[in-house]
Amino acid sequence: MKVKYNLLKKTGNCNARLGKLETNYGVVDTPMFMPVGTRASVKGLSPDEIKECGSGVCLANTYHLWLRPGEDIVDYCGGLHKFMNYDGPILTDSGGFQVFSLVKNKERDITEEGVHFKSHIDGQKLFLTPEKSIEIQNKLDSDIAMCFDECPPFPVTHEYMKKSVDRTLRWAKRCKEAHKNERQSLFGIVQGGEFEDLREYSCKETVKMGFDGYSIGGTSVGEDKETMYKMIDYGIRYLPEDKVRYLMGVGDPLDILEGVERGIDIFDCVLPTRIARHGQAFTRTGKINFNNAKFKKDLGPVEEGCDCYCCKNYSRAYIRHLISVDEMFGGRLLSIHNIRFLIKLTEEIREAIKEDRFLEYKKEFIEKYTSNNK
């Protein structure tokens, strides 16, 4: 079954929207945050633990699973859902972001046919094409596959970005033609960098191809916040309202709020688990760092009122101890808290949209979240 997006409500004073996404593995509410399971596992956490956090869709990475264990192994094991024992919807990215980060010479290594690069594991020479990316994702059998696109760095010239967008559009057509898994939906990706005319062009041409959903790509690649928000604004107005909209690689709470205001439905990012492994946690009053000795005798939870497993069972003093001795359980507990924090944020956002008070909720959240920075 292809995913189906149902728009339930739009706010009157901005573009925030409430919806439901029907998938092969149930219906999920939007806006939502997706935990990232790069290698078919959210770092350190079991599928049951991320489900307890309220997870709907989970993301897995095509590039990493292609290299290890290989798409044929995952296929032999019954596809990603059985392989990782996750009974919710799964989205696979195309591998493009990882591949382009490994390219040494973009003029030489990025060709019309595909991309030449070396494995980050052993330096083996590899070549990934749009067709190969889709073939891998078809075998992984995720619910949603992503087109293979060129991921330009920031900044680049308008001339380079135009060539890149045109190549991404040609690759999108090839991805659509190569896609053979009837159970799997395929999302198109909009590029264009910071250039308004190219974002419009990319959106309109991608929409003409008729994908099951659309992603805004090329953000979080080194640009400042205001530029990122403009990138969203420049393209999203040309996306159809009856298709789901996905902002790739964005997981900062403030960025999620800005994205929702602009009409984004889905977010993903490694941020909650990455900062957890470094001893940091999201709270309503901003991030806190458990490397700080002030938490040594703090008997309170990471955050008062939080309903996650970590906050219901452990003190800040214990978390501080685990982080200070480099005990992996500390990173696991903070990962649970941080993922739950972002999912709870989207739950509250949905409730605010439903009650026509999203902008008020956003203002209140930002004031509290940034209060320690003033």
Asked if 7 contacts 29 with a C-beta cutoff of 8 angstroms, the reply is no
Q: How far is Cα 100 from Cα 115, in angstroms, rounded to an integer?
A: 8
- Single out the catalytic residue among 141, 143, 149, 268: 268
Asked if 148 contacts 133 with a C-beta cutoff of 8 angstroms, the reply is yes
- Single out the catalytic residue among 29, 72, 93, 242: 93
Per DSSP (E only), the strands in 223-317 are 244-247, 266-268, 280-281, 288-289
Asked if 38 contacts 270 with a C-beta cutoff of 8 angstroms, the reply is yes
The DSSP secondary structure of 13-56, one letter per residue, reads SSS-EEEEEEETTEEEEESEEEPB-TTSS-TT--HHHHHHTT--
Burial state string for 60-92 with b = 16 or more CB within 10 A and e = fewer than 16: bbbbbbbbeeebeebbeeebbbebbebebbbbb
- Dihedral angle at the C-alpha atoms of 214, 220, 225, 227, nearest 10 degrees? -60
Active site residue 143: no
Say which DSSP state 342 is in. Answer: H
Neighbours of 181 (CB within 10 A): 18
Number of H helices, E strands in the chain: 16, 15
CA nearest to 234, candidates 201, 268, 210: 201
Q: Which residues pair with 20 in a beta bridge?
A: 6, 29
Active site residue 93: yes
**Residues tagged active-site:** 93, 268
